[in-house]
Amino acid sequence: MSFRDRSTLSMTPRKTVETQGTPIGRNAGATRSRSNSPQKRTINTVQPGNVKVVARFRPENESEKFHGSSKIVRVVDSSTVALDVTPAVGSFSFDRVFDETCNQNTIFEYSIKETIDSLFQGYNGTVIAYGQTGSGKSYTMMGPVDGDPEAKGMIPRIADQIFDDIAKSSSDKEFTVGISYLEIYMEQLRDLLSEEASDLAIHESRTGEVYVKGLTNRYISGKDELYEAMKAGAAARIVSSTDMNDESSRSHAIFQISLTQQSSATGMVKKGTLFLVDLAGSEKATKTGASGQTLEEAKKINSSLSALGNVINALTDGSRHVPYRNSKLTRILQESLGGNSCTTLIVNCSPSSIQEQETLSSLRFGVRAKRIKNNVHVNAELSAGQLKTRLQEEQNENAKNRARIAALEQELAAHKYKNEDGGVELPVVPIFDYDDRSIIIDDDKSENEITRLNAVVKELSITNKILLSDLESRCTKIVELELENDRLKDQIGSPDTESYTQLDQTIAKLSLKIKDMEIQNQGLRKDIAVAQNFSETRSERVKELESQLYDQSRILQRDAYTFEERLGYLKSRLTAVKSASFGTVPGPLQDTTNNAGHSYTPPQPITPADISVAKQARNKVGLNLRILKPLRGGNENPN
């Protein structure tokens, strides 16, 4: 049977809405009343109640059995558990104690089902799983991902119950179901339903409402969509392996379900929000073997759990200040602890002697939490018709009070007249037909009766003034709302054509200016591109000339060295040739150019071949001298 056979689901499947943030704090259930429905009034009938605390013990695991542990837990009765340890620590009492043989359905039926019923009545609810690492918190909340249906955790069972109750509800009710999923990792908030949202921030509205800004709020139309979101979020959680748990959660996870229902018959709206919290486990590095990043994660986990313990201590000790702001976890759970929420705490423990200290610490935590008192109320909004009916009822009650005041004043006047004139009594005129309106006046009534009547008249006068003031303020509010409604209707029905025309003209002018600026920008872009190309060309040419200059200088250095060496040698040869031309034989000559590096040998007789060699050398000297011609910049082909 579809949901619409019995009730209307006003929701879009798989639709994700990015809102200002999902309300998570004070008066979360009355959000729409303040923001969207100013003519509606929220009903808050406060009912105090303690936090419900249950203890659950898992079976011993293989590691504990391997290390020779023994069972130290003894369930005394359905609400009491004792630890067989030395020194004795006494027993611990809770609302319910579940041993290792208890299944998931039993936990749900006792601990959670009542919370779902309250959710449909407009109350907020919270379910928190607490305990050391490896104690079974995630199993309690989630159960196996793909396994035995009987082992389903609390969240899947809650989804089943919610949509079953919707299907069974009357056809005049319309429901909207939304979900959010976040984790607190290393004191940072991560949206588990979005790959992009990370390190979100907690904000508080002007009305004191706490919310996570940017947190995804996804509306769903069936439990299968909730299953998919739960699995996707669980897969995105950060986990790692420790010596105590192969898949240890390194973060606190909070799954939020919001349920809004509206009656088409009366227009009344009720909204409840359910927080499902899977806390990370407390750890001792000596047992988990944590190191590096895992150790840093453990420090943050223990720090936030310590802040949670401090909040519980402050609430139970009657402290004037409760340190909710010391941790993001306690800030988010502010309404769940001491506020507007029907809260259930599931303390998960191990029965093993190896985990004695951790189990003892968890049980003591649960005992403290059981003393917390929450003040819960229904988050409901009256429709305009209901508000008028309520106003009429109060007006009728006010009229009755006025009639009773008049009757009592007349009785009082009759008493005074009788006492002053010697027993002459004025008749009492009945004003309003109710049981105690007629008071028979006896002759022997004393002054005490007159005093009592005076007090009654005074009290009723005060009550009448209060009711009149309240009635006037409500009437004024109704008139203001009706005037505002008429004004809005007039604006919608007869729009200001002249204003629209001026607005269109302004938009057209701005559009022309934008087009002109775009044309100018295109021209500037072209000029910039040309300038960049020219600059790049000049830079390349400069680099090319620098390379040529470098190569030319290397050639000049090499040729200069060779020239000096040849010059010294030719000088010595020319001297020998000149001596031969004049027919004189020079004496031993010394090489005048030490840089040439050649030792001189005595000249031999001049031959025609020597003269030819000298001419060739003279030509080469001239060739080398021409290389010294300077280069000019900017000439591509220097000669």
**Cis amide bond preceding 351, omega within 30:** no
Range of the domain at 324: 52-381
Rounded Cα gap, residues 426 and 311, in angstroms: 67
In a domain, 13, yes or no: no
Looking at the structure of the chain, the number of domains it has is: 2
136 is in an annotated binding site: yes
Give per-residue pLDDT as tens, 206-218: 877 888 999 999 9
Rounded Cα gap, residues 564 and 212, in angstroms: 87
Instruction: Quote the pLDDT of residue 421.
Output: 57
Of the candidates 232, 224, 230, the residue with the CA atom closest to the CA atom of residue 160: 224
Do the beta carbons of residue 191 and residue 182 sit within 8 Å? yes
Per-residue pLDDT band for 73 (boundaries 50, 70, 90) equals: very high
In a domain, 37, yes or no: no
State the DSSP code for 132: B
Task: Report, as an integer, the average pLDDT of 228-255.
Answer: 77
| Domain-terminating residue out of 529, 551, 566 | 566
Higher pLDDT, 242 or 180: 180
134 is in an annotated binding site: yes
Instruction: Quote the pLDDT of residue 253.
Output: 92
Does the structure show a pLDDT above 60 at 426?
no
Would you name the residues annotated as active-site residues?
134, 136-139, 278, 281
Rounded Cα gap, residues 143 and 286, in angstroms: 28
Q: Which long-range contacts does 623-627 make (Cβ < 8 Å, 24+ apart)?
A: 624/559, 624/562, 624/563, 627/555, 627/556, 627/559
In a domain, 631, yes or no: no
Which parts of 258-383 fold into alpha helices (H)?
A: 285-288, 293-317, 328-332, 356-369
Measured CA angle at 200 (ends 185, 181), to 5 deg: 65
Higher pLDDT, 24 or 182: 182
Rounded Cα gap, residues 158 and 109, in angstroms: 10
In a domain, 313, yes or no: yes
178 is in an annotated binding site: no
- CATH no. for residue 148? 3.40.850.10
Instruction: Quote the pLDDT of residue 419.
Output: 60
Give per-residue pLDDT as tens, 329-380: 999 999 898 888 999 999 999 999 988 889 999 999 999 999 999 888 888 7
Rounded Cα gap, residues 542 and 54, in angstroms: 84
Instruction: Quote the pLDDT of residue 547.
Output: 85
Give per-residue pLDDT as tens, 449-458: 666 666 777 7
Q: Please identify which residue in the block is written with the tokens 């934008």.
A: 514
132 is in an annotated binding site: yes
Per-residue pLDDT band for 630 (boundaries 50, 70, 90) equals: very low
In a domain, 67, yes or no: yes
Task: Report, as an integer, the average pLDDT of 35-59.
Answer: 65
Instruction: Quote the pLDDT of residue 584.
Output: 52
Does the structure show a pLDDT above 90 at 492?
no
Higher pLDDT, 593 or 262: 262
| Domain-terminating residue out of 331, 352, 381 | 381
Give per-residue pLDDT as tens, 15-44: 444 444 555 544 443 333 333 333 344 444
In a domain, 437, yes or no: no
Does the structure show a pLDDT above 70 at 288?
no
In a domain, 38, yes or no: no
Does the structure show a pLDDT above 60 at 298?
yes
| Domain-terminating residue out of 361, 381, 401 | 381
Flag the least confident range among 21-25, 384-388, 618-622: 618-622
**Average per-residue pLDDT in the chain?**
76
- Tokens encoding 451: 């005093």
- Tokens encoding 604: 């031999």
Task: Report, as an integer, the average pLDDT of 205-231.
Answer: 89
Instruction: Quote the pLDDT of residue 439.
Output: 41
Task: Report, as an integer, the average pLDDT of 260-268.
Answer: 85
Classified as helix, coil or strand, 232 is helix
Of the candidates 21, 24, 22, 19, the residue with the CA atom closest to the CA atom of residue 208: 24
Task: Report, as an integer, the average pLDDT of 423-432.
Answer: 47
Instruction: Quote the pLDDT of residue 28.
Output: 43
In a domain, 454, yes or no: no
Instruction: Quote the pLDDT of residue 110.
Output: 92
pTM for the full model? 0.57
